[in-house]
Amino acid sequence: MKNIKTNLLIDKKVVAALIQYSQKIDSIKILGEKNDSLPFLIPGFIDLHVHGGGGADIMEGGLSSQLVAKTHAKFGTTSFLATTMTAPFEDLEKSFLAMKESFLSRPKDCARLLGVHLEGPFISSEKLGAQPQFTREGTLKEIQILNKIVPIKVITLAPEIFNHLELITEITKMGIVVQIGHTNGTYEQGVQALNLGAKSFTHLFNAMSSFHHRAPGIAGAALANANFAELIPDLEHVHPGAIKTALRCIPNLYFVTDSTSATGMPDGEYKLGSHTVHKCLGGVRLKDGTLAGSALTMIQAYKNMKKLGLNELDLNNKLSGIQASLLGLSDRGQIKEGLFADFILLNQQDDILSVTIEGEECEF
């Protein structure tokens, strides 16, 4: 049994507390008012959109998923979804097979791999963003084969193409979250997709038909109807004013990094699937200037959104709790007795002092 004295948020108030834990949190005892001499404890971040980090790209196979998991753990991510790129089936299968061992047994000092976010290839060629041009019609057969290797937790698709509206219902029956994204669909098609079981939107505002007052597009469908949507809060993908708009409209807006192999690395050239991307001044772009994922970390997302005015309860929810809810996870996402001891200790400047994953304090 381990224990730690810390400040943390309990019932919307920051108090000093003693936490006892092993792999899971055994008890939380309130000691009194906030103590400025103690660090601050927050839930470990859950990132549902991670392409890479530490110079490694999920699509590379090999040990890439382990390096990605270790890199993001340094920045407070305690669990994540490995996110694939649009690619031929053989490349996707190779990537899934390489992830299997890390999925079955979490390597030391690594974030927990919860499964896969299949971002493409069932997307619109008109809204590729930084995705390679390997789009194709979605089939249950392809999804089922990959899902048997490592569980797919989220699939991004464009509802307006091929038979994807029908496919949404079938994917949902498998227990997989369908996200609307990389789509040039209309407002009406977005609403229809939600009615058929789609649950969320991929990187809201980016790579989707935009809002116009006479043609609200997929962005409008999300703002008017969504319960869940992910958003990249690097302040480059989405203007702060648009973030505030989304926060007012979507009850369970949550934050992701959409991070690439450039995350945690110096400026230079990196891989994103079959693309070469360029990191410069904190941003990641294709040669033509198109934004290509990010170099964002979840702790930077925390700091960015705190500066935007979000309180600690909202930060905890939008960086951990909502993600757990979306995936139906009842064992993580909050600081609560009986849940995994996934947490981050912060100093007064919100810099990370330590990261604990499933009761293990990581060594970096």
Name the residues annotated as catalytic. Answer: 258
Chain center to CA of 104: 20
Residue with tokens 């990010």: 294
Q: Helix or strand or coil: residue 198?
A: coil
Greatest C-alpha distance within the chain? 60
DSSP secondary structure letter of residue 116: E
DSSP secondary structure letter of residue 320: I
List Cβ neighbours of 351 (8 Å cut-off, separation of 6 or more).
Answer: none
Q: Helix or strand or coil: residue 90?
A: helix
Residue with tokens 């807006």: 253
With contact defined as beta carbons under 8 Å apart, do 19 and 3 qualify? yes
| Residue 254 β-bridge partners | 230
Q: In one letter, which amino acid is 279? A: K
Query: Measuring CA to CA, how many Å separate 160 from each of 170, 195, 267?
Result: 16, 14, 38
Q: In one letter, which amino acid is 347? A: N
DSSP secondary structure letter of residue 126: G
With contact defined as beta carbons under 8 Å apart, do 39 and 344 qualify? no
